[in-house]
A = this chain, B = another copy of it.
């Protein structure tokens, strides 16, 4: 830690994805002061680490004071305490000490965290979860991710794999999930599931699929999740049904997670959450019918995320700032 760092100074959050690396200078109140972004280098680890260090340098230049910590959000299974990455599905990283590698390049310690966890912390500190001690985030994008705040702390689990909310099981004999197992929430309630269901309808013989067929000119491969959402917003029955089915499954998954964690608030983010109430309405209904103890207890709030794609960098910056404060004995 630089001796001159000040509590009111910004911290740096970096979100390392498979195609791009986003960075931001984040104020103590969670506001983004400045953004930078680069393509994720296709080559080896060294290049990616260099790109991250370069991004850090560019962000530091924009800060008047030394930054109050650097946090990295990574789509990987990792051990945050050790700064160690075990496995990243979309990056060439297996068993590397990422924390130490980046720290050496930037000349100060860095905090690393799983990206969905970082996003959850972002929403918890500066978004939809402010003022609650127990929060759960579901991110419904290509897959379904999750992050859990239990008693004011991020849940990591014994092996650093806790909070994989997309993989609670809704149907043990159901379709194969991308994770290799069967019937996970993700296989029913992800953006990929939505697209797949829409394409199946297009290639089926059903008259229901007419609007979807028109939308993609009969070529199911051109259909994306946003098409379904827009058609549903325009009143197409089949598209509305597809979002309704997804929302219902999501609601079942949320109810299952609430039986374990009993959060105060459930936040739904990710690309598919752009469908808003078309998704959240059915989710809320299914959730309410399956919540343990319903009728004898308060119902957790079910709300949309507020930070959008910024949740990861905001959360990573907040984690880094708090880690540093704890090191100073303020935490």
Name A residues whose Cβ lies closer than 8 Å to a Cβ of B. Answer: 77, 86-87, 89, 132-134, 148, 150-151, 153, 155-173, 175-182, 184, 197, 200-201, 203-209, 252, 255-257, 259-264, 286, 289-298, 300
Contacts and interface: CB of A to CB of B under 8 A. Distances in A.
Contacts of A201: 176, 180
Nearest to A163: B260
Given A179-B206, A207-B295, A292-B181, A252 B286 contact: no
Contacts of A300: 158-159
Contacts of A292: 161, 164, 167, 179, 181, 184
Contacts of A256: 168-169, 256
B295 A157 contact: no
11 contacts: A150-B155, A151-B155, A168-B256, A171-B171, A175-B175, A176-B204, A179-B204, A179-B205, A179-B292, A179-B293, A181-B290
Contacts of A207: 180, 294-295
Copies in the complex: 4
B180 A197 contact: no
Q: Which 3 A-B pairs have the closest CB atoms?
A: A157-B262, A180-B206, A158-B264
Contact of A180 (B166, B178, B209): B209
B262 A164 contact: yes
Nearest to A148: B260
A150 B163 CA distance: 12
B205 A157 contact: no
Contacts of A177: 204
A104 to B, nearest CB: 27
A178 B158 contact: no
A322 to B, nearest CB: 16
A160 to B, nearest CB: 7
Contact of A181 (B172, B264, B289, B296): B289
A158 B290 contact: no
A205 B180 contact: yes
B77 A180 contact: no
Nearest to A132: B158
Contacts of A173: 173
A115 B170 CA distance: 28
Nearest to A187: B200
A180 B208 contact: yes
A159 B298 contact: yes
A162 B134 CA distance: 11
A56 to B, nearest CB: 30
A91 to B, nearest CB: 14
B159 A297 contact: yes
Given A89-B205, A180-B205, A206-B180, A257 B260 contact: yes
Given A179-B205, A208-B180, A161 B262 contact: yes
